[in-house]
Structure formats: structure tokens, C-alpha cells
């Protein structure tokens, strides 16, 4: 899935305002992912039973249609996150970065599902392990000056 990321700059306050919406999207993703893998397993089992290409059971066809629809719903959720300006680092663990400006350079504001607010940032080339605590949220800007 190749979803273009809309580069947007954020303040800490702007990200924190988005978090309720992002939480809903992540919860929806987890629900859809669970359904997807359950359906995928059912389709695989039914495919073993119905091995004649000329004959497709109605149940198998219906499950395949639902599987494809669920896949499109998951892709739509990724698009929603991208349109918000999120850079999803790990969808399963709810790890998201947001571009911000700190001391005249681009950094990532870093949020992980389960955290109340954005409290961490890291260099553009550092990962989760390079996270640093945000001391003063107003130092993170949404414009490069």
C-alpha cells in the first residue's frame, strides 16, 4: 500500500488536538485487522474444500467480497491518517510521528497509542529509541522561520 504522505508541520498543541480522532482511527484499524485475518483464514479453509475453479460456493464468494471490502476499509483508514499529516511508523503498536520545527530544524513529535499527549520528540533520523522528553511545548513550531 503506497499512500502519499502530506507533509504538514505541527505544534504540540495541534497534535494533541488531533489525538482523539487518531485514537478512533487506530481502534477502528484494530477491529478491521482482526476481521480481515479471521476472514482470510475462513477463505483459505473454504478454498481447500472448494478446489474446482468452475464451482465457487456462494459462501466462499461472499467471504471473498467481504475480505476485499475490509481490505479497502483498512486502506481508507491509512489514508485518513496520512491526510491528517500523520507519519505512521508502526500501525500495530500505534506509533505515529508528526513533523515539527524545533530550534530551526525539522524533528518528529512522537506519539504512541496509550500515551495521553505528545510528550516526546526525536531527530528525523532517530527512531523510537532516540526519543527525548519535550521540556517546553511552545518551542515546537509549525513554520520554519
Residue owning grid cell 516526546: 120
Q: What is the pLDDT of residue 115?
A: 94
24: cell is 478512533
Angle between helices 58-84 and 12-49 (to 10 degrees): 170
- Mean pLDDT value across residues 53-66: 79
43: cell is 477463505
* pLDDT higher than 60, residue 54: no
Strand, coil or helix: what is 58?
Answer: helix
Contact present, 133 and 120 (Cβ < 8 Å): yes
Question: From the CB of residue 38, how many other CB atoms can be counted at a distance below 10 Å?
Answer: 13
Q: What is the pLDDT of residue 145?
A: 66
Q: What is the pLDDT of residue 31?
A: 93
CA dihedral 4, 33, 21, 87 (to 10 degrees): -30
- Mean pLDDT value across residues 26-54: 85
Contact present, 130 and 122 (Cβ < 8 Å): yes
Q: What is the pLDDT of residue 2?
A: 57
CA separation for the pair 50, 37 (Å, rounded) = 20
Amino acid at each position: 500500500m503506497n499512500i502519499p504522505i502530506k507533509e504538514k508541520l505541527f505544534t504540540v498543541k495541534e497534535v494533541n488536538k488531533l489525538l482523539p480522532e487518531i485514537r478512533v482511527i487506530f481502534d477502528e484499524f484494530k477491529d478491521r485487522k482482526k476481521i480481515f485475518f479471521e476472514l482470510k483464514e475462513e477463505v483459505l479453509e473454504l478454498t481447500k474444500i472448494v478446489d474446482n475453479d468452475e464451482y465457487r460456493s456462494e459462501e466462499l464468494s461472499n467471504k471473498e467480497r467481504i475480505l476485499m471490502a475490509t481490505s479497502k476499509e483498512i486502506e481508507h483508514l491509512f489514508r485518513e491518517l496520512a491526510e491528517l499529516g500523520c507519519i505512521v511508523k508502526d500501525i500495530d503498536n500505534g506509533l505515529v510521528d508528526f513533523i515539527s520545527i524545533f530550534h530551526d530544524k525539522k524533528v518528529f513529535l512522537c506519539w504512541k497509542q496509550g500515551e495521553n499527549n505528545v510528550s516526546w520528540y526525536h531527530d528525523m533520523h532517530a527512531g523510537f529509541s532516540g526519543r527525548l522528553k519535550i521540556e517546553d511545548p511552545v518551542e515546537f513550531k509549525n513554520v520554519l522561520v
